[in-house]
Amino acid sequence: MKKIAVLTSGGDASGMNAAIRAVVRTGLYHGLEVFGIRRGYQGLIEGDIFRMATTDVSNIIQRGGTILKTARSQEFTTPEGRSKACKHLQEHGIEGLVVIGGDGSFKGARELAGECPHLRVIGIPGTIDKDIVGTDYTIGFDTAVNAAVENIDRIRDTAESHDRLFIIEVMGRDAGYIALNSGIACGAEDIFVPEEHTSISDLIKNLRYDKKRKKLVRIIVVAEGDEYGGAEKFRELIRNRFPGWEVRTAILGHLQRGGSPTYFDRVQASRMGYAAVNRLLEGGNSEMIGLQHGNIVHIGFDQACKKNKPMDLGQLEMAMVLSS
Ligand code: F6P
């Protein structure tokens, strides 16, 4: 293998730049030609490919987002789209591709690896949601949770000052890891996640009890993908059931996606980028680099693309005990 390429795909996550840097520098160290692909699979379909030098990744380890830009490409989900992508890789003589993204990106990578002759693909898990099976960690999660914690702490200050109930919505379309961890870290009174049934009757019971004991401050953290709905849905419910109670909402949204990566994201991203290139050189294909019990592992895309990563629901129970 003489030429490899790297792209970022799906939602950006802080630490992706550290992973790109590691891929580029490890590739160059081994004497490979390294190419960057802009705007993920869409850029690959359009041939937006350029040769990368070591200076292209200088001064990026501390930057959020992705210098390669990213996209969610509909065209790449079609065989025609992937065939165009394959053609561009072949024109450049690229035989190894590193895809930094989430499980959706790995599904595309698995298809491409199966359809494009002489191409091998390795994935690096990059998503703030931490919802990928086979790895304990995904790049961007730590930065996102820390951003959520910082903002929830700020909101608690004002909630305490005004005796208000706040419903704070954090990201996580299908996964509640940000909600669970930021909720525990901020002592949230309630945490609602897609992985667990949301009991409205329990919530109402708790609110009645709060009212009786004149506890007017409550922080409710809800993942955007919760089965009952987001922050606004909860506000409507509480306003209807408890008229007169001061209720406010905050949707943290993309605040959680940007910003300088934490040391943890930088280190794990560097380890994964380094491992991805080494794995390509060892002959790995259609695999994701993951972290299990602190160790770097490689797992087939078939496993990594499975839905429904299990959550330790005992932690939710613990959070409720600690905030009661
Ligand atoms: O997958 C990461 C994520 O941040 C989800 O938590 C969220 O639902 C989604 O991306 C938002 O995507 P977009 O930035 O395209 O609106």
Mutate to test the pocket of ligand 1, among 107, 171, 180, 251 (most ligand atoms within 8 A of CB): 171
The DSSP annotation for 113-145 comes to HHHSTT-EEEEEEB-TT---TT-S--BTHHHHH
pLDDT for 244: 87
CB 249 within 8 A of CB 232: yes
- For the chain, which residues make up each domain, given as ranges? 3-140+261-304, 141-257
For ligand 1, is residue 230 a contact (CB within 6 Å)?
no
For ligand 1, is residue 172 a contact (CB within 6 Å)?
yes
Reference 102, options 70, 142, 67; nearest CA is 70
Give the whole-angstrom CA distance, residue 246 versus residue 3: 60
Residue nearest to atom 10 of ligand 1 (CA): 11
For ligand 1, is residue 129 a contact (CB within 6 Å)?
yes
Quick one: which H or E segment has residue 194? Answer: none
Residue 190 catalytic?
A: no
H helices of 132-282, in order, are 141-162, 177-185, 200-212, 231-241, 263-282
| Two domains, one topology: 3-140+261-304 and 141-257 | yes
Q: What is the CATH number of domain 3-140+261-304?
A: 3.40.50.450
User: Mean pLDDT in each 10-residue stretch from start to end of the chain (324 residues)?
Assistant: 98 98 98 98 98 98 98 96 98 98 96 97 98 97 98 97 97 96 98 96 95 92 97 97 94 97 98 98 98 98 90 95 93
Q: Which residue has the tokens 């994701």?
A: 288
Catalytically annotated residue among 48, 56, 103, 129: 129
CB 223 within 8 A of CB 256: no
pLDDT for 266: 98
Residue nearest to atom 3 of ligand 1 (CA): 11
Cα 181 to ligand 1 centroid, rounded to whole Å: 18
Cα 199 to ligand 1 centroid, rounded to whole Å: 25
pTM: 0.97
pLDDT for 307: 81
Residues 6+ apart with CB under 8 A from 206: 189, 190
**CATH superfamily of this structure's domain 141-257:** Phosphofructokinase domain (3.40.50.460)
How many residues are there in the chain? 324
